[in-house]
Structure 1
Amino acid sequence: MDGTAGPKDRNPTAEAPRATRTGTRRASATGRKISPATAKRLPVRQGEGHWTAGELADVRDRLELEMTALRSEIAAAESQIAERMNDVTEGAGDDQADAGAKTFEREHEMALTYNARDLLAQNERAVDRIGQGTYGVCESCGQPIGKARLQAFPRATLCVICKQREERR
């Protein structure tokens, strides 16, 4: 390993933008604005306030920042894996333990890259759902997921009850 942090060792959302004033229109990292009407149409659980354009833009910005970091991480990892695969001299003369360790390391790097791709796909789906107006709807029961849950875990596709049910299986 080269000592760089993997997807679980870093926090790509640590530099997420701070919340803006409630109800203001704001451009995201990609320059697209979220209208207050779009934000207000998103479902919320009983007792929660409607989404504001600023809150929704913050969530989308956070997802987009993480997507950018994941794309860079994936490209670097794939490049590194390809270099090692093309290096025919690597491992020449190694004993079985060294060869096994290198194989394990390569498979570990490939697993981390796969996980990063999966996170990227989840983030892309969340951004798409924001654009389609279906963000915050549980994919299992169709009920609102909960604004606080989405702010804490913006990739969530299931409400707490359905997620607990899924984890018990």
Structure 2
Amino acid sequence: MLVNEAVDTGRSQADIDQIRRSLRARYDELTVEYDRAMTQSQVLRLVEVGDTAGDDQADSGTKTAERDTAQSLLRTILDRRAQFEHALSRLDGGTYGWCEGCGSAIPVERLEIFPSATTCVTCKQSRERRAA
């Protein structure tokens, strides 16, 4: 069997619909979180641009650190949102719940904790070891 080949998961349509609602709800929460963080980042930039008179090196360093933290948060939220978008795409394609690495079923317990998981624990550990 090809890893990308759609397979029968044995899930009922009700189960698939519930999974879709759960993934979509988390995706929507992340979108709201992103919009809120983007607004805060824009306000931070406006304050930074308008309030630089009398800044010393410590003030400049603090502002730079705050800006970097805000940008990091935005990237993290976008990455997490992309993971849920990918999970929804896999659900539509019939491959949700199957490991992209080895093709084995991803344990339900893993999906309950990490609904956007695309790999089984073994393949995830192998990827992390190779990345280290």
TM-score bin, normalised by smaller chain: 0.7 to 0.9
Distance in 2 (CA, whole Å) between partners of 1:151 and 1:73 is: 21
3-state DSSP of counterpart to 1:41:
coil
Please identify which structure carries the higher helix content.
2
Deviations 1:58-115 (A, max 9, x none): 3222211111111111112222222332442223212111111111011101101100
Q: Does 1:168 align with 2:129?
A: yes
- Which residue of 35, 43, 52 corresponds with 2:12? 52
Structure 1 unaligned segments of length 5 or more: list them.
Answer: 1-39, 43-49
Aligned to 1:122: 83
Q: Using the TM superposition, name which of 94-103 and 147-156 deviates more.
A: 147-156
Distance in 1 (CA, whole Å) between partners of 2:13 and 2:37 is: 36
Task: Write out aligned runs for 1:61-140 (5 A).
Answer: 61-87=21-47, 88-140=49-101
Higher relative contact order (CA 8 A, sep 6+): 2
1:149 CA drift (Å): 1.8
Distance in 2 (CA, whole Å) between partners of 1:78 and 1:135 is: 30
How many residues align structurally?
123
Aligned to 1:154: 115
- Which residue of 24, 30, 41 corresponds with 2:8? 41
Q: Kindly, what percent of the aligned residue pairs are identical?
A: 40
Q: Give the direction of change, closer, same or farther, for the CA distance of 1:92–1:63 in structure 2 (3 Å limit).
A: farther
Distance in 2 (CA, whole Å) between partners of 1:57 and 1:74 is: 25
TM-score (norm 1): 0.65
Distance in 2 (CA, whole Å) between partners of 1:83 and 1:151 is: 36
Q: Which amino acid aligns with 1:66?
A: R
Distance in 2 (CA, whole Å) between partners of 1:134 and 1:86 is: 45
3-state DSSP of counterpart to 1:126:
helix
Distance in 2 (CA, whole Å) between partners of 1:142 and 1:105 is: 42
Distance in 2 (CA, whole Å) between partners of 1:155 and 1:162 is: 15
